[in-house]
Structures are given as C-alpha cells and as structure tokens.
Amino acid sequence: MTATMQETMNVIRRFAPNFTPKAGLILGSGLGVLAEQLESPITIPYQAIPGLSQGNVQGHASLLVMGTMQGIPVVCLKGRLHLYEGAGYDAIRTLVRIVRQLGAHALLVTGAAGSLRAEVGPGEIMLVNDHISLHPGNPLSGPNDESVGPRFFTLENAYDRDYCDVFRKQAQKLGFALPEGVYISTLGPSFETPAEIRAYRTLGADAVGMSVVPEVIVARHCGLRVAGALAITNLAVGLSRTKVTHEETLRNAEICGRKLARLIPECIKEMALTDSSP
C-alpha cells in the first residue's frame, strides 16, 4: 500500500516538529561526507519513513539528516534511490517532495558522473546548466496533484541561473575551476558502450550518470529552485584506457567530496539570502 504524503510527514515531524530548512541537499555516490558538516543533526533512516525504503548501492547511506550548515537549516538526503535498484518513481517523488513539504525553497543535487570531455577529468566538479533525459518514462506520469504543482510546466530554467551564478562566484573565491555542462541521465546500472558515448557527445552532453534528472523534474514541478553539481569520477569509456568501475567512482568521488565540502556550504549560505520564490 502506497503511503500518503501526510503519513510520511507525520513520521518526520515526530523527530523534528519545528524544523524548517532553507535548502535541501541530495548526496550522490561517495559524497556522504557533506552530511557530516551538519551541526546538531537529527537522523532518520529511510526505512523508518513511510513511502521510502533503504537503498542497496555502496556509497549511499539512505539517511535523512536535518541540521544546520553555516548557520542555515538544511535537510540532507544522504543517499538517493535509483530506478535500477527497483525503486519506483513513487519513492523518488516522495524523497524530493519531503524537502518542499518541510518548507525549503532550494534543492542542491549532487551526483557522481563520467566526463565526456577529455579536458575535464576525475576529481573535478562540473556545474550542471541543463540536462538530457534518457530515463524510461517521466516521474510525473499519471494523475497530477494540482496541490503539488501544475500538470504542465517549463524546464527552461531547470538549473536556476541565479544559483549557477552563486556557484561560479564561490568557486572563483575558493580558487578552483568549475567547468559547466549538460548532464545526460541513463537508467543504468550498466555503464555505457563506446558507441553510446559517441552518440551522447553528438547530442550535446558533457557528462553522463544514472540519476539526478528525475529528481530535478519532481523538484521543479513542486516549486523548488534547483542547482546541480557533479563529481567527475572518470572519463567516459572510449576516452581513457582506465577501466570504468564503481570502485573507481567511489575513490574519485571522495576527492570531489573534499572540494564540494568547501564549495556547497558557502553556496548554501549565499543562496539563502536570495529571493525564495520559485
């Protein structure tokens, strides 16, 4: 039986009755270190929340963590749910809508990705400025709940231009490069073939991964403003002689995590000062 959003929020509110975040943060593979920056954390396992379940991918802890970062209240989704694990779009919708129901207006989405550009290698952070979806279907297919968002809506500014400016500004202050690009999202869990990578480059993609896009679609539908940052963990197959493995992904995500641990708190602090309207 599918849990209602009210049932989901009733459980969360028992743990944190008065918590209202300014922003939400979704952490991809190997990026859980960012959750450790939250002060006075309140932690709830996904499996204790109606409508969610524990993920089974190494590098994803499946914890909802609420606390403050740079003095800003933040809800952190430490580990995401993937379609290739057997999670349905219902669970992904619930995970994202929790952020909005708690009162946040901003969502920062991170994820591990392979670079389709030889000059942007492992250990770098890429700012997402647009996406291409190769996921099956759409997370909003089926009856629409008008109380959540409209039936039809635009993704023209899916990755908020003002938030992108914040990331550029903070990266410059911290002294590291922040290449930008288009993210293409596939179902997985298999990595791509060389022919697929060539096709994705022809389509205009700069990085490839197995998540992010469904969450961004759900977030924009319910009025969350979005920023996306990718941990580049490998060069896509065909661009390097190094074999692409999940172990390599986690190793290089840890390197990226140290950069994001410096960048994201500063961005959240500045984003909290911007207009909260979607």
Please tell me the distance from the alpha carbon of residue 195 to that of residue 113, in angstroms, as a whole number. Answer: 18
Catalytic residue among 211, 236, 252, 253: 211
Look up 211 and say whether it is catalytic.
yes
For 45-69, what is the HEC assignment?
EHHHCCCCCCCCCCCCCCEEEEEEE
* Residue extents of the structural domains in the chain: 5-271
Q: Check: CB of residue 135 under 8 Å from CB of residue 186.
A: yes
Catalytic residue among 158, 171, 210, 219: 210
Residue by residue, DSSP assigns 24-39 as: EEEE-TT-GGGGGG-E
277: pLDDT confidence band, cut at 50, 70 and 90?
very low
Look up 56 and say whether it is catalytic.
no
Q: Which CATH superfamily is domain 5-271 in?
A: Nucleoside phosphorylase domain (3.40.50.1580)
252: pLDDT confidence band, cut at 50, 70 and 90?
confident
Look up 270 and say whether it is catalytic.
no
Q: Check: CB of residue 83 under 8 Å from CB of residue 186.
A: no
**8-state DSSP, 192:** P
Look up 82 and say whether it is catalytic.
yes
Buried b (16+ CB within 10 A) or exposed e, 56-94: ebebbbbbbbbbbbeebbbbbbbbbbbbebebebebbbb
| pLDDT score of 278 | 46
Selected residue with higher pLDDT from 216 and 1: 216
Say yes or no to pLDDT of 28 above 90: no
275: pLDDT confidence band, cut at 50, 70 and 90?
low
Please tell me the distance from the alpha carbon of residue 175 to that of residue 259, in angstroms, as a whole number. Answer: 11
Look up 135 and say whether it is catalytic.
no
- Distances in Å between the Cα of 108 and the Cα atoms of 99, 119, 192, 220 are 11, 25, 26, 12
Q: Which of 60-74, 136-150, 162-176 has the lowest mean pLDDT?
A: 60-74
- Whole-model pTM: value is 0.93
Calculate mean pLDDT across residues 37-62.
Answer: 82
Please tell me the distance from the alpha carbon of residue 29 to that of residue 23, in angstroms, as a whole number. Answer: 20
Q: Check: CB of residue 100 under 8 Å from CB of residue 224.
A: yes
Q: Check: CB of residue 179 under 8 Å from CB of residue 124.
A: yes
Selected residue with higher pLDDT from 216 and 81: 216
Phi, psi at 44, each rounded to 5°: -130, 125
Say yes or no to pLDDT of 197 above 90: yes
251: pLDDT confidence band, cut at 50, 70 and 90?
confident
Catalytic residue among 5, 9, 23, 29: 29
Instruction: For residue 111, give the amino acid letter.
Output: G
Calculate mean pLDDT across residues 192-206.
Answer: 97
> How many helices (H) and strands (E) would you count in the chain?
6, 9
CB atoms within 10 A of CB 35: 22
Look up 84 and say whether it is catalytic.
yes
Look up 112 and say whether it is catalytic.
yes
Tokens matching residue 11: 């459980």
Look up 215 and say whether it is catalytic.
no
